[in-house]
Amino acid sequence: MRGRLVAGASLALIVLAATILILTGVVDAGNVGAAVRGVFSSSAGGRGGGLLSGPEAAHSWSEAERGIIASLSLDRLPPLPPDPSNAYGDSPDAAALGHALFFDSGLSPDGTVACSTCHQPQSYFSDGKALANVRDSDTPRHTPTIVGIAYSDWFYWDGRKDSQWAQALAPQEAAIEHGGTRTAHARYVLEKFGSQYEAVFGPAPDLSDRSRFPPDAAPVEDERRLAAWEGMTEADRGAINRVFANIGKSIAAYSRRILPGRSRFDDYAAAALVNDRKRMAELFSAEEAEGLRLFIGEGQCTDCHNGPLFTNGTFHNIGLPLPEGSRFDQGRSLGTLQVVEDVFNCLGEFSDAGEEACVELRFIKLEGEELIGAFKVPGLRSVAETAPYMHNGIFPDLEAVMRHYNHAPPAFPGHSDLVPLAFTEGQSEAVIAFLLTLSAPPDAPAEFLRPPANQE
Ligand code: HEC
Ligand code: HEC
């Protein structure tokens, strides 16, 4: 009761002081709102700094706010968890093979496309294009980064894969990506990397009989390739699938080790944790701190972009506009159906996980309006390096992203999970200034950030 009286009295004083400041023209009315909010958020936790002035004022946080900031820090990222579906995930030899394959355009029939064509190390493992594009044709989606992706439960914008190794198989056969087939890739890898392969995965099958193992066979749309695949015996298809799965497992052993590096924000979070305002003021400008305040506060960004990777790992429809001439993208509502059907999923015969380890897949949510047009919440570390933005690459820059969050139009079809923010231009700019503090080169063994020496 007494606390409330004191708070009431100080509110009266603040309002009085604010009125005087406005009347005397020291502050405009908009800024007073921010100042009053600042005072309240700092007193809410009980140990805030009250009315600070000078360069450190922007860095006055309540205890609750300091807790939220710390929860976003890389210091809170747990060690990379093992992937029970990939017994080779932490094998350095598997990673060395995967490293070679990631940069090897031999995994495409015309020798022009490798994983690194689209996931370019110098572009934070993205490609700078609105939509991924090879051989002059666009794919329907934007290339996301793969940095830190090993912490995800689901892969692709719609989560149609449930492991990194199963994901790595799909582009190899997608006509609009590598465009190859599993028999061709199994043969290519065993011919070129046979001893490396056997050192990791044990004896490889003999694929020399081309009547049993046709050069181009795969369960894909192309009729010739499909017929060749269906003409094989079940046992031979199994042998090919096993090699194909192992190719994915080695690529995953490599790519799972590419993690986000420590950014200026992480140093700020460490200073915030111990409430060292002097250090905070050295690390962040007042604008960057305001951006962080809006990000965790009024902007409600942390409803979805939370934890050390700035993603809650789930799927949301945020009512994005469609690129001209494109059709509505179902997103998660189709991705769920695809992942449960996938022979390479966690419960399938090529997975090394026991059923009990496949919790995400076993308890997957398959129905609900919220899945329609929903896409995976992307992490925001080094987001400045991965423009254009969103699954459909619709926004060229962060200004355009902020305009969307400010207006938040309703989604059609489906339901948008956003509420319009109506930030001022200055507030939007502050949020962007904060997002830029999340940039840092990936944390990975240096040799992993370029092709293996003999491949350059
Ligand atoms: C033609 C460009 C292209 C090539 C080649 C390519 N990717 Fe991708 N990658 C993409 C696009 C586009 C997406 C998003 C597709 C989607 O969500 O439907 C993606 C998604 C991913 C994801 C999921 C990331 C996430 O956030 O869930 C991973 C991991 C990945 N690719 C790894 C690879 C690997 C490994 C290879 C090589 C075997 C590869 N990619 C080849 C363009 C490419
Ligand atoms: C309701 C959940 C939700 C909230 C709240 C939210 N986001 Fe997002 N954000 C998403 C989803 C989902 C995507 C990807 C959407 C897509 O591609 O369809 C996304 C994408 C982004 C991207 C693009 C990243 C990329 O690599 O393409 C940025 C930047 C971003 N959000 C920043 C913010 C900021 C800043 C806020 C607060 C003002 C915020 N988000 C609030 C869910 C959310």
For residue 363, report the distance from its CA to the centre of ligand 1, in Å: 25
Residue-wise burial string across 65-84, b where 16 or more C-beta atoms lie within 10 A, e elsewhere: bbebbbebbbeeeeeeeebb
pLDDT level of residue 48 (50, 70, 90 thresholds):
very low
Three-state SS annotation for 289-331? HHHHHHHHCCCCHHHCCCCCCCCCCCEECCCCCCCCCCCCCCE
Instruction: Pick the ligand that lies closest to the CA of residue 375.
Output: 2
pLDDT of residue 51: 58
- Indicate whether 455 pLDDT > 50: yes
pLDDT level of residue 448 (50, 70, 90 thresholds):
very high
Please, are residues 320 and 54 in contact by the beta-carbon 8 Å criterion? Answer: no
If you average pLDDT over residues 125-143, what whole number do you get? 92
Instruction: Pick the ligand that lies closest to the CA of residue 311.
Output: 2
pLDDT level of residue 18 (50, 70, 90 thresholds):
very low
pLDDT level of residue 456 (50, 70, 90 thresholds):
low
pLDDT level of residue 46 (50, 70, 90 thresholds):
very low
- Domain coordinates in residue numbering, the chain: 1-44, 92-152+161-259
29-43, 105-119, 372-386: least confidently modelled range: 29-43
If you average pLDDT over residues 169-191, what whole number do you get? 95
For residue 446, report the distance from its CA to the centre of ligand 1, in Å: 22
Instruction: Pick the ligand that lies closest to the CA of residue 420.
Output: 2
pLDDT of residue 34: 38
If you average pLDDT over residues 446-455, what whole number do you get? 92
For residue 380, report the distance from its CA to the centre of ligand 2, in Å: 8
Residues near ligand 2 with C-beta < 6 Å? Answer: 295, 299-301, 303-305, 316, 318, 320, 375, 377-378, 380, 383, 386, 389-391, 398, 401, 405, 417-418, 431
Please, are residues 190 and 197 in contact by the beta-carbon 8 Å criterion? Answer: yes
Neighbours of 420 (CB within 10 A): 12
pLDDT level of residue 54 (50, 70, 90 thresholds):
confident
For residue 377, report the distance from its CA to the centre of ligand 2, in Å: 6
Please, are residues 342 and 348 in contact by the beta-carbon 8 Å criterion? Answer: yes
What confidence tens digit (pLDDT) does each residue in 183-194 have? 999 999 999 999
Mutate to test the pocket of ligand 2, among 405, 424, 438 (most ligand atoms within 8 A of CB): 405
What confidence tens digit (pLDDT) does each residue in 210-257 have? 999 999 999 999 999 999 999 999 999 999 999 999 999 999 999 999
Distance separating alpha carbons of residues 363 and 344, to the nearest angstrom: 17
- Indicate whether 13 pLDDT > 60: no
| Domain 92-152+161-259 falls under CATH 1.10.10.350 | no
pTM for the complete prediction? 0.90
Our answer on whether the CB atom of 167 is closer than 6 Å to any ligand 1 atom is yes
Looking at per-residue pLDDT, the higher value among 232 and 412 belongs to: 232
The tokens of 169 are what? 């198989």
